[in-house]
Structure 1
Amino acid sequence: MMSGKARQAAPMTLLRVAEVFAPERLAATDILMAGGRIVALGQGLAVPQGWPVQVVDARHLIAVPAFIDQHVHVTGGGGEGGCGTRCPPITTRDIVAMGIGTVVGVLGTDSISRSPADLLAAVRGLAADGLAAYMYTGAYRVPAPTLTGDIQRDLAWIPEVIGVGEIAISDHRSSQPRQDELERLVSDARVGAMLAGKRGICHFHLGDGKRGLEPLRRLLTETEIPADQVIPTHVNRRAELLEEAAEYALAFDASVDVTAFEDAGDGLSAFDAVSRLLARGVSPARITLSSDCNGSLPEFDADGAYVGMQVARNTTLIADWRRLVHARVLPLESALGLLAGNVARVLGLADKGRLAVGSDADITLLDKALQPQRTFVAGRCLYGAVDHHETAR
């Protein structure tokens, strides 16, 4: 992968593409980027002679908002079967090759050999490569492990921390938190986020347990916490849980996150899960997709003993998303929300998830089959072959 600095020799870049979906289809076919932002959209845009601009001729490709993956084990997950079962960290190339420009790092079961400090270092490393990279403080267990010793301080003082997670509920690997502990955790996240001007969501891992979404239903029913403060993920782990998630989304006008499992096993693929949620009447604006990549996909026997695992990848995320469009489950404009606009709204990333003047110049170029071919983050090309059509004035 060529470095971002090598790709972005000129301070301005003019993209000429076949179509622009912002996510709605625009009349524009040209995008001018400067200073990490989109500064103009239109047709036949021209830059005065002598201005330092790189012109990228990609008129065979479609421009869309760069994808956002809100659940990535950037340091690697796993460990449920001992130290030999720790998953490897993810690379920048693995991320941007899937058209993803923004990631949110998480810790999972293991917050002993992996720590929030380790996660922050990995996130900053990805940012140094040019990615937009954030993290959740905390992990499966409650009380949540933090960087400063306090959830509110983590959110208030550490720019990369945009929420708390992934907090495990209804899972034999969770710390079996009491309802009052969950309420205090979410409340701390809300107040800390308010002080920092962030959304401060709590990202909840759903396991196979019989309680399902009950702790979150109680949270929203018995407290003043708004529904957009809590995001349940892995809701397609099994068919019964997905049905419960549909009822939850409809009852509270809440968002739910579907995981693109590589091997769904007893659960449902992201394609099937989104299709079923839509059929139940859940608005596409209330559905997001994430990969869980470089996390573990452990298998346990009936007694809860570890028997093996696989390492999750993000390739299934894009494959299932493409299938939703190709099968006409959703038009491209709505499907983009699952990986871009909806996710940006949920996370409170106001300048991402949309192509508009003033927004971050995070752009993915897709071919006609909707396969990512180039990924720009803050106007820098981090993925994609440079061809002879590219010139600099």
Structure 2
Amino acid sequence: MLTLIRGANLYTPSPQGQMDVLIAGSKVIDFRTEIKLESNTEVKIIDGRGNILVPGFVDSLVHITGGGGEAGFTSRTPEMNLTDATLAGITTVIAALGTDSSSRTLTNLVAKAKGLKELGLNVFCHTGSYHLPAKTLTGSITNDLMYIDEFIGVGEVAISDHRSSQPTVQQLAELAAEAKVAGMLSAKKGTVSIHVGPVNSHLAILHEVDKNTDISLSQFYPTHMNRNKALLDAGILFCEAGGTIDFTTSTTEYDLAHGEYAAAQALAYCLTHNVKPTQLTMSSDGHASLPIFDEQFNLLGLEIGKEASLLGAFQQAIRQYEVSIEHALMAITTNPANVLGIKKGTISKGSDADLVLLDSNTLAPQHVWSNGIHMVEHGFAIIKGAFE
């Protein structure tokens, strides 16, 4: 089956103007101003005129198997469904465990990832969780990255948080060193995803690793950097030293009222403070538990992360904070793909056919393809999981 998308305003994520884009199987095989086909092969024509065609979104932190709730067993969050991602334009997710690595396991994580992959979604995983020493599937980080296709890095390891294992500089350095070498041996990046909590130490321990060892800041990928202005400013310094930072799009009204920046606002803030657009990303923290703590870390409430918040933050960045389409797209396509070392987030000849056709007025996904599979058509999911 060939699919021809005609006349869309193409972003790769850089703007290319009005283009025809041709998909064959799982690949983009051509795009140009006009594609003429002379063939008796069946071709599906999609009218993209007046709409925007962009790469499929890359969500760099999703709890696809759900998270452990901080209010006991009844607050464990549910698993992600396929359409939680695809209806929001997400074609690639990076899955991780969080606070709970006891009732939530790496075996379950990989099994869930394989199931979503069978449906056509791109899924990668991190080994480990919040706590050190890192739990692994095979007995070591090295073996997990080398012999299990889905594993590409480690995380999310918690720092500056009362729920972390209070890791030392040496522990983090050893973890990052093993992940880096394992990545080299398996042709993966071996990135260490870092959960950053609200404690005022911020990113100090990562700078200590960089200062006192041979591990550079680029090996770490800190998320939740929009918790408050002080952490956001610490993130700018981290970028100036060569790192990349991530903003979480799922949030609560309580947190926003108590100093958290919306992800779109944080993105715009950093851009206006001369951070390079390539150093900024956004992720949903989908299906994580979102605990609400007071200043003494007493639990006040609990909500759940939503993958659709990534789409909402992208829209908000453009409409409310006047971020360019290109820079907003980079934060959810090429940038997370590059920091994680995966070949996703771009549209080029020969690239995987992960595409989203957006309504130019609402920026809502009208059509979504993942690996060339038509997942969403005219805003409705046409591929669903077995139990949706």
- The normalised TM-score by structure 2 is 0.93
CA contact (8 A) 1:163 1:200 kept: yes
1:183 is aligned with what amino acid? A
Identity percentage over the alignment?
A: 37
Q: Partner of 1:365 in structure 2?
A: 357
Aligned to 1:382: 375
> 1:283-302: CA deviations, max 9, x gaps?
11100000101101112344
| Matching residue of 1:78 | 68
User: 2:299 matched to 1:306?
Assistant: yes
Contact 1:17 1:63 survives alignment (8 Å): no
Q: By how many angstroms is 1:227 displaced?
A: 2.5
Pairing partner for 1:256 from 236, 239, 245: 245
Residue type of the partner of 2:246?
D
Q: How far apart, CA to CA, are the structure 2 residues paired with 1:301 and 1:32?
A: 53
CA distance in 2, matches of 1:332, 1:18: 15
AA matched with 1:87: T
Most deviating of 24-33 and 107-116: 24-33
Partner residue, 2:385: none
1:140-159 residue pairs with structure 2 within 5 A?
A: 140-159=130-149
Q: In 1, distance between residues paired with 2:379 and 2:318?
A: 28
Cα separation, 2, equivalents of 1:298 and 1:241: 19
| Counterpart contact for 2:367–2:375, Cα < 8 Å | yes
Shift of 1:27: 4.1
Q: Which of 228, 235, 238 is the matching residue for 1:238?
A: 228
Q: Is the Cα–Cα contact under 8 Å of residues 104 and 136 in structure 1 kept in the other structure?
A: yes
Letter of the structure 2 residue corresponding to residue 361 of structure 1: A
Query: How much has 1:328 moved relative to structure 2?
Result: 5.6
Query: Is 1:356 the counterpart of 2:348 in the alignment?
Result: yes
Q: Is the 8 A contact 1:72 1:104 kept in 2?
A: yes
Question: In the alignment, is residue 57 of structure 1 matched against residue 47 of structure 2?
Answer: yes
1:21 aligns with 2:11: yes
Instruction: Find the residue that maps to 1:249 and give its secondary structure.
Output: helix
Deviates further, 333-342 or 271-280: 271-280
Structure 1 residue 340, shift from structure 2 partner: 0.4
- The corresponding residue for 2:183 is 193
Partner Cα separation in structure 2 for residue 328 and residue 78 of structure 1: 34
Counterpart AA for 2:166: Q
**Which consecutive residues of structure 2, in runs of 5 or more, have no partner in the other structure?**
381-388
Distance in structure 2 (CA, Å) of the matches to 1:56 and 1:140: 44
Distance change in 2, residues 1:111/1:47 (3 Å)? same
1:37 Cα deviation after fit: 1.0
Would you say the 8 A contact 1:27–1:42 is kept in 2?
no
Q: Could you give the per-residue CA deviations for residues 320-373 of structure 1, whole angstroms, max 9, x where no partner exists?
A: 2112212463211222100101111111113x2111101111101100121112
Q: Distance between the aligned counterparts of 2:115 and 2:157, measured in 1?
A: 24
Letter in 1 for 2:130: Y
Q: Secondary structure at the match of 1:156?
A: helix
Is the Cα–Cα contact under 8 Å of residues 92 and 126 in structure 1 kept in the other structure? yes
Query: 2:207 — aligned with what?
Result: 217
1:239 to 1:117, Cα distance in 2 relative to 1, 3 A: same
1:128 and 2:118 aligned: yes
Question: What is the Cα deviation at residue 315 of structure 1?
Answer: 2.5
Shift of 1:225: 1.6
Letter in 2 for 1:248: F
1:345 maps to which residue?
338
| Cα distance in structure 2, aligned partners of 1:144 and 1:277 | 32
CA RMSD between the two structures: 1.6
Q: What does 1:24-39 align with in structure 2 at a 5 Å threshold?
A: 24-39=14-29
SS of 1:142 mapped into structure 2: coil
Distance 1:136 1:241 in 2: 24
1:290 corresponding residue in structure 2: 283
Number of residue pairs aligned between Structure 1 and Structure 2: 375
Q: TM-score, normalised by structure 1?
A: 0.92
**What residue is the counterpart of 1:89 in the other structure?**
79
